[in-house]
Structure formats: C-alpha cells, structure tokens
Structure 1
C-alpha cells in the first residue's frame, strides 16, 4: 500500500518549501518507492498563489485525503503579510487541522516557518525542532527545544530550516520510507548535494 503524502498549501506559502519536497517524493516514486503525493488545501480551491507569485493547481482538500505524512511549508512569516504562514497562524484553522492530524497519528514534516505553524498547534512543545534562521527567535519563545541543525527528526515530527532545507528533509524521509539507496539516487538525479547532519532523537 502506498504511503500517502499531502503537501498542504495556502495563500502566500513559499514556493520551494512545497515544490522542493514534492519533486523529491515524485522522483522517489518514479524509482519504485511506493509514494502517492498530492497538493492539498484546507478550503476548496482550484489554485493557490505562492509568496513569489507562482500559481499552483490543487488536487483537493486536505479533509478529503487520508495521508500518512503531511508536509507543511512556510512563507512570509517575518513580513507578517496578509497571505503568509503568519496569517495562517493568526487565523488558527491550519494549526487546528495540523493538531487534529497529529492526534490521528499522521506524521508531520515542516519546512522553514511551517515549523511555526506546528508550534502554534502545540505540537512542538517539549520537542526538538528548527525553523528558518530568521524565525528562530520566535521559535525560542515557544515551548519547543530549538536545535542547531538543518533537519531535526523526532520520529512523528520532522522539521527543517529555511527553504532549500526542504530538499534535505524530503531526501531524509525518502531514506526512512524507501531506503538510503533510493534517496541517493534521487539526490543524484536532481544534482543536489545533501547538506548538514540530521539531528535524530
């Protein structure tokens, strides 16, 4: 049975936070890793506009999926923009949905300031985590245990630093799900040199 992965996006998400992991998982699937990756939103939407203007088509609502793993991108946190991770944290619906997923046993992976949405949901309380360097001060104000690492793997919760760290997070997860040989094949195909040690609990 395929591992269902949902990348949840919202207005103002950072493009690479979402598209980078999506591409890694897609490459892994093409190499025999049994993954089914989709792009989801909380509310019904055909398209979502990212922080740098890219418009992305949506596969459906998160509530209509049954994911094993949900990837939460960041975007616009420090700008406090109306369309951003900050706005989603203030609105509260996405953190609530994330908390519900976690209670149901879904593994969560956050890229960049997507980690702040997990913190807002209370999921990082007492747990090691990381986020974009520019938001580490905000993360330290929560009950998370901030770790100096590119990727932090705490089992059912995995967080990564800023933007391109999402590639390392996704490759690490491919290694967990399908083996390191597949992860290395994907990194080679994408001509990406993996960076930083993964902090694992």
Structure 2
C-alpha cells in the first residue's frame, strides 16, 4: 500500500502524523538536507522496520532528531573538554550531527548496541512539530535504499520511489532543502573529529572544538 502524502503546510496533517509516530507509524519528511524516515525510538519493531525497508546494515545506528537544542542532554552524556552548549547555541538548529556517549534511556536497537548516540536539531519546522506532537525524539535514517546514493541528496521523488510502499506518511516539502551535501557529522568521543563533511565546514566548527581532527 502506498504512503499517504500530506503537504508541509497542512497543520492538521502534521499533528496527525506526530500522533501516528507515537503509535508506531513511520513518516518520511525532509530534513535540512535529505528526506529521511522517522519513527518512535522506543518501539523496537518500528525501528527494525526502518532497517528492513531501506535494507540497511544493522550495525549502523539511527540518529535522534530533537525538537530543541537543549534536548541533547536528555539522550547524550556531556563529553570532557567540549562546551557542547556553546556549540549547539552557535550551530543548532542546523545540519550538524553530534556523536556522544549515550544515556541508558536510549534503546540499544537505536544505537546498534553501541554506547554512543548521534543527535541533531534541524531548522525544519515539520520535523520539530512532529517531535513536539509525538512527544518524542525521532529515530531516523535517510529515505533511500542503502547503497543507492553515491552522491546527491534524497529528494521527495527518490524517497517516494524507494520507500513509498513501506512508510505510512510522506510529508511533501514546498521546496528542496537548499543543501548540497548531507549533514556534517562530528564525533565528540575523545579528540573531536569530523566523521562526515557536509556544507558546514570544519573551519567554522573548529573554534568550538579544540584539537578538531578534519
């Protein structure tokens, strides 16, 4: 069965989608970069379905999207030697994912059994409303079949083609994200290091991360 498609300005639809997420639905929506697929991180069966629908390696963790910059501390542990509050105040909301040690509340099926978690707070009003209406951080991965996107971003059309028969709802954005690459990912485990370079350059982040390894 094909996904229900709602537009990003459909307030009632977004509210309904948020409530559905809490109950176990899978929703696709545009992040600050790619389209992603989102679910309730505390429902193992739903998280497992994300891996299945995109044929994702089970050893690759999901990311938690949060509705407020301050929410990171609920899911991740404060790393030594990094002022995370200053970092997120400067760069969130935006396409910067931070990897840190996780708190026990984060389920193992979200982190692939690892003791770390990736957290991000995007500009996207849709994602933030979905998180608010569901009352949850959103477990997510990109909305494409794994191994099919060597370059470029996952658009609405790609998401619909790849996972449209498996998700419950797709939120159609009014315009592309405007990004040229996927989000920048920074590890805060030990010496800060860039895991993936996105549009946010290392030079911009470096003043907030002493010893940053590009």
Taking structure 2 as the reference length, the TM-score comes to 0.30
Structure number with bigger Rg: 2
Q: Going by fraction, where is helix more abundant, 1 or 2?
A: 1
Higher relative contact order at CA 8 Å, sep ≥6: structure 1 or structure 2?
Answer: 2
